[in-house]
Chains A and B, each alone.
Chain A
């Protein structure tokens, strides 16, 4: 059990190839990540720019690509506009596994333990969680648990 890791999963009623396309193609990223203009250079060392409009744009660095089952990238979620490096970012890993005609998607984000959340973001995170309400955050976990 790693303390600095977030792991979520979901079962999607679509083939692995379809889910992979949604995950990696700019037209889809613009829907599931944010309303901006993403761009994708899908090779190790390439950048997949996730654009969150008002919250900024995130040049994530592709670490490993194994279509249509595995994608890993680093993103500096606390530093909008800055390319991800080894030290300013967390590692995001998507794993897509076929289950019959469906696909189980697992996403992990790890490396928070070595990250220093920038003062501005910490205040932001704190503010958001206060305005969102701690109970609501807990309920989000509960909803997730029920989906399993």
Chain B
């Protein structure tokens, strides 16, 4: 169990960075891709993308192969352990709850219906 837990922690740590998640998102939507191509779809430099990919590869969330002078990356969704998936679901559920809180809070109270406050 211990090594598995360590691996899960490493995956969670890797996913804790929003830009790194974004790299993973963009890579997932591109299929196989290079850092150069990914960087064109993101607000960060190619060098930053390379660093994120290297870390994602260390925790086995992505894999790469060398083709000529390029390194091409792909997502390995199976590396997302049950724990990491659980955490992603936790985040997705908070998004849903926050959206519901926003809807409720932005409803005008009954007494001021039709009387927008300034």
Cβ of A60 under 8 Å from chain B = no
Cβ of B44 under 8 Å from chain A = no
A–B Cβ pairs within 8 angstroms, 28 of them: A3-B9, A3-B13, A4-B87, A5-B16, A6-B90, A6-B94, A12-B101, A14-B105, A14-B106, A32-B97, A103-B105, A105-B101, A105-B102, A112-B87, A112-B90, A122-B83, A126-B85, A129-B80, A134-B77, A138-B25, A138-B28, A140-B88, A141-B21, A142-B25, A144-B91, A144-B95, A145-B21, A145-B25
Number of B interface residues, CB 8 Å? Answer: 34
Q: In this complex, what residue of A is CB-closest to B19?
A: A145
- Measured between alpha carbons, how far is A19 from B17 in the docked complex, in Å? 28
Cβ of B18 under 8 Å from chain A = yes
Q: Known contacts A4-B87, A107-B94; can you find 6 more A-B pairs with CB under 8 A? A: A12-B106, A23-B101, A126-B85, A134-B80, A138-B21, A141-B25
Contact A12 B95, CB 8 Å, known A6-B87, A126-B82, A145-B22 = no
Majority SS at the chain B contact face: helix
Interface size class of A (residues with CB under 8 A): 35 or more
* Complex contact A6–B102 (CB within 8 A): no
Cβ of A13 under 8 Å from chain B = yes
- Measured between alpha carbons, how far is A24 from B97 in the docked complex, in Å? 13
Cβ of B37 under 8 Å from chain A = no
A23 neighbours in B (Cβ, 8 Å): 101
Interface set of B (CB-CB < 8 Å, partner A): 9, 12-13, 16-18, 21-22, 24-25, 28, 77, 80, 82-83, 85-92, 94-95, 97-102, 104-106
B98 neighbours in A (Cβ, 8 Å): 8-10, 105, 107
Q: In this complex, what residue of A is CB-closest to B24?
A: A138
* Complex contact B91–A140 (CB within 8 A): yes
Cβ of B17 to closest chain A Cβ, rounded Å: 6
A43 neighbours in B (Cβ, 8 Å): none
* Complex contact B101–A8 (CB within 8 A): no
A9 neighbours in B (Cβ, 8 Å): 98
* Complex contact B82–A125 (CB within 8 A): yes
* Complex contact B24–A12 (CB within 8 A): no
B104 neighbours in A (Cβ, 8 Å): 22, 28, 31-32
- Measured between alpha carbons, how far is A132 from B102 in the docked complex, in Å? 24
* Complex contact B22–A142 (CB within 8 A): yes
Cβ of A74 to closest chain B Cβ, rounded Å: 15
